[in-house]
Amino acid sequence: MRAEWLAQVREDVIDAELPICDPHHHLWDHRDNPYLLPQLLADTGSGHNVVSTVFVECSAMYRADGPEDLRPVGETEFVNGVAAMSASGTYGPIRACSGIVSFADLTLGADVGAVLDEHMRLSDRFRGIRHAAGWDASDDVRNSHTRPPPQLYLRDDFRAGFEELGRRGLSFDAWLYHTQIPELTDLAKTFPDVTIVFDHFGGPLGIGPYAGKADEIFAQWCIDAAELAKCDNVYAKLGGIVMPINGFTWHKRDTPATSDEIVAATGRYHRQAIELFGPQRCMFESNFPVDKASCSYPVLWNAFKKIAADFSADDTAALFHDAASTAYRL
């Protein structure tokens, strides 16, 4: 992840004692870019007081054999082992991967229940699933890693599977693009008893046909997010917006982004989401190592603390720790 490049921007950590639950990161063993417990601990231990984390699926360590539908449970096995290592205290007080969000194909309908049950059997840290729906007609926008069809969240077979989450008290993380937010709102209204986590502001795109349209996209996002926020079962994750697809191009620069640059470019999304959903349903997230393409971990959390500088102590605690702990039942 270009450590020397990231090290060019160093900042004093703001409010270093504030407890943080980072509710969104990944783990993987990519050949040229491993992100496993040592790399995670290097980031979470870089100055901010990260006391716990939530892992979110990224197709890591699926089983190599056995029934195709059950292969994703290998990710839960893998992450639960990492969580057990962290829980031993050997690596300090942090409790990494206290919650695990894995994958199950909800288009299996009622049959997905067996997959969910196996995730639950393998780890008492398993909290729910993410089935990404990011789809766009443009060839310039890569669709989600789950290769979703258009309008996934509106499909009958998907919703039959979604119903199985509710029966088990499991949560759902939604990853989609900004054009698809009304589809998520329809899903949330249909299943008001299922906790839904709105990842990365709904993926406001800034590449391909969306390049140069930031103000127009934000204006429509405000309308769509306001409707989604009316659903009391939806929490909003505040982060995951400095990815290359968001169009800020920091990953192409000679130096990474500073916290002030992040606040200037993305602060309006954070502030509007907090106003719409309320601090008790909002949680700052790192989305590391994906967002590491643009900035370092200390810089990112400094940006979040600058955005939240004027909030009360209770609201600050919610944004940085309590909302995530509640949503994921940590």
How do the pLDDT tens digits run along the chain, 330 residues long?
689 999 999 999 999 999 999 999 999 999 889 999 999 999 999 999 999 999 999 999 999 999 999 999 999 999 999 999 999 999 999 999 999 999 999 999 999 999 999 999 999 999 999 999 999 999 999 999 999 999 999 999 999 999 999 999 999 999 999 999 999 999 999 999 999 999 999 999 999 999 999 999 999 999 999 999 999 999 999 999 999 999 999 999 999 999 999 999 999 999 999 999 999 999 999 999 999 999 999 999 999 999 999 999 999 999 999 999 999 999
Identify the CATH assignment for 3-327 out of 2.40.320.10, 3.40.605.10, 3.20.20.140, 3.90.1150.10: 3.20.20.140
* pLDDT at residue 2, rounded to an integer: 85
Q: What Å distances lie between residue 214 and 178, 223, 286, CA to CA? A: 12, 15, 22
Report yes or no: 297 and 304 within 8 Å, Cβ to Cβ.
Answer: no
How far is residue 328's CA from residue 18's CA, in Å, rounded to a whole number? Answer: 20
Q: What Å distances lie between residue 4 and 1, 9, 160, CA to CA? A: 9, 10, 48
- pTM of the entire structure? 0.97
Report yes or no: 220 and 272 within 8 Å, Cβ to Cβ.
Answer: no
How far is residue 139's CA from residue 282's CA, in Å, rounded to a whole number? Answer: 32
Q: What Å distances lie between residue 22 and 167, 206, 301, CA to CA? A: 27, 25, 10
* pLDDT at residue 1, rounded to an integer: 61
How far is residue 262's CA from residue 241's CA, in Å, rounded to a whole number? Answer: 9
Pairing of strands 282-284, 19-25: unpaired
* Nearest C-alpha neighbor of 158 from the set 191, 202, 200: 191
* pLDDT at residue 31, rounded to an integer: 87
